Structure 1
């Protein structure tokens, strides 16, 4: 399966329209949707985005929780209730809703960041600050990445 990769910064016009990177559009179209799904991040001041494949994963994760639990309701209210299905126009743009722009402090530009099965949309300066910190901290977490080639039979280390 294709994954969202790369970093792209695009201008937002006065109507809130922004061009979604062509690579990202191709992935969601291949998944059967001519647009993207976006919702406010529960981890910070940025927007989470995905196609229908990852949206289904979110539904599955929520379905594993007690349907009457407060935790499920809290998560669902943000991940589903505050989500928006945003269709591409003929130029590959979407209208990023005002509430999502406000959540991420996005005004005149948006940075799209590939994260594999999903992507994020940031205010560019906020992303650069996050990226500098992430690069520093990622060095300390390199041991979390293990090559599947390094695993022996049954998934154990060789």
Structure 2
């Protein structure tokens, strides 16, 4: 399965258009969408989340596990679905980043796209640089969480 990988920084023009990285476009097009889906983050941070239809379906499945009238479902749906934007690529592979989402991330003239596997994030470049410096340091603490798929149980090789 194709996944969102890599880090790319692109300029935003005066109309709010930004080129989505070609590798990211290929993923969503392979999933049947000539565009991307963006939504506010649930984790604290100055970024917006992005995905294609495959991850959007996962979000819908997670929400469907909750009672349809539960306040938790309504809250999560308001953020993940109500404030999401399905953006279509123009002939140059660009989308118009909605002002509300740009404001959440503090994005103005450039956007950094960061692959996260099944989804991606869009950051203000300097904010991402600061986040990444800390993430690189923290990753050392978390590396023991990663296990080879061929490892049996919690053991070795």
Q: TM-score range by the shorter chain?
A: over 0.9
- Give matches, 1:24-43, under 5 Å: 24-43=24-43
**Structure 1 residue ranges, 4+ long, deviating more than 2 angstroms after superposition:** 155-158
Q: CA deviation at 1:33?
A: 0.5
Q: CA deviation at 1:42?
A: 1.6
**RMSD over aligned Cα, in angstroms?**
0.9
SS of residue in 2 equivalent to 1:94: strand
- Give matches, 1:117-136, under 5 Å: 117-136=118-137
Gaps of 5+ in 2: none
- Give matches, 1:3-152, under 5 Å: 3-43=3-43, 44-151=45-152
Q: Take 1:45 and 1:127, find their aligned partners in 2: how far apart are those partners?
A: 8
Tell me how many residue pairs correspond in the alignment. 155
Gaps of 5+ in 1: none
Q: Take 1:45 and 1:66, find their aligned partners in 2: how far apart are those partners?
A: 30
Q: Take 1:157 and 1:71, find their aligned partners in 2: how far apart are those partners?
A: 38
Q: Take 1:19 and 1:91, find their aligned partners in 2: how far apart are those partners?
A: 7
Q: CA deviation at 1:12?
A: 0.2
